[in-house]
Amino acid sequence: MTRRITLTTFVLLLLLAASAAIVLRTEQGYAAASYAWLKLRGGYSVDERIRMHSGAVERRLKAKFAAVAVPYPPAQLAYIAFKDTAELQVYARASPSAEWRRVHTYPILGMSGDLGPKLRQGDMQVPEGIYRAEFLNANSRFHLSIRLNYPNEFDRAQARAEGRTELGSDIMIHGTAASIGCLAMGNQAAEDLFILAALSGKEQVEIVVAPTDFRRQPVRTPDGTPAWLSALYGNIKAALSRFPSEA
């Protein structure tokens, strides 16, 4: 009887271990386990995250920067996300007066909502506009994350004019493959984007979220959208014009 219980327990432990190994191989599983560990250890600083991930990020990206003649890490960065193609393009330049060069393009693995701006908390929309990196979260539940300064001045001005008050917040570019209102990039891409921003300085990161690439597509606003949307899309088009559309 004792041998049967021991064998059963052993088999259950094996099954639990196998299940845990499978879960840890997923983006969400790895992020959840990492988050549990960081809570136990009291969290990480940005500098600690740099020490943890900068070697792997440099191995993945340094040659890409060299290929477009931009030093690694660069003086300035731009992360440009397009909703319709679910991709995020990384641009960099060596100085504020230098030309922008496209370094790499990442697929966006998860985002919610449709084309169009975010209007209120809970609408599950990813914002559209021109933002900056407000905060580097070294202790995110989604591995690593970069918080956008949503709502920005434009977002707040339109909300005041329309009497909207609950605009939502905490819009992130983060790891894992699923998101509600944010851009989920996968854990490895999140490491790249986070470490680049940390090394260059978050103040040197511009973030543009567009419904489509207005360098190649005309600006159109669907019927029933806010009257101010054409102005927003005009601003986004002007911002995009500073970046070459081809690598």
Average pLDDT over residues 98-116: 97
Buried (b) or exposed (e) across 27-54, using 16+ Cβ within 10 A? bbbbbbebeeebeeeeebebeebbeebb
Confidence tier at 25 by pLDDT (50, 70, 90) = low
Lowest-confidence region among 30-44, 66-80, 104-118: 30-44
Instruction: Inform me whether the pLDDT recorded for 2 exceeds 60.
Output: no
**Using only C-alpha atoms, what is the Rg of the chain?**
21
pLDDT, residue 37, reads 60
The residue to which tokens 């606003």 are assigned: 221
List the single range of 32-46, 174-188, 228-242 with lowest mean pLDDT: 32-46
The pLDDT > 90 percentage for the chain reads: 78
Question: Which stretch of 34-48, 104-118, 123-137, 233-247 has the lowest confidence by average pLDDT?
Answer: 34-48
Q: Which helix (H) or strand (E) holds 105?
A: strand 101-107
Mean pLDDT of 5-18: 54
129 in the Ramachandran plot: left (φ > 0), alpha (ψ -120 to 50) or beta?
Answer: left
Rounded CA separation 21/178 (Å): 20
Question: Structure tokens of 116?
Answer: 């169009």
Structure tokens given for 151: 């709502």
Q: How confident is the model at residue 20 (pLDDT cuts 50, 70, 90)?
A: very low
In the DSSP assignment, the letter for residue 196 is: H
Main-chain dihedrals φ then ψ at residue 129, nearest 5 degrees: 160, -165
Per-residue pLDDT at 7: 58
- Looking at per-residue pLDDT, the higher value among 70 and 11 belongs to 70
Q: How many CA atoms lie within 13 A of 157 on its CB side?
A: 7
pLDDT reported for residue 1: 46
Mean model confidence pLDDT for the chain:
90
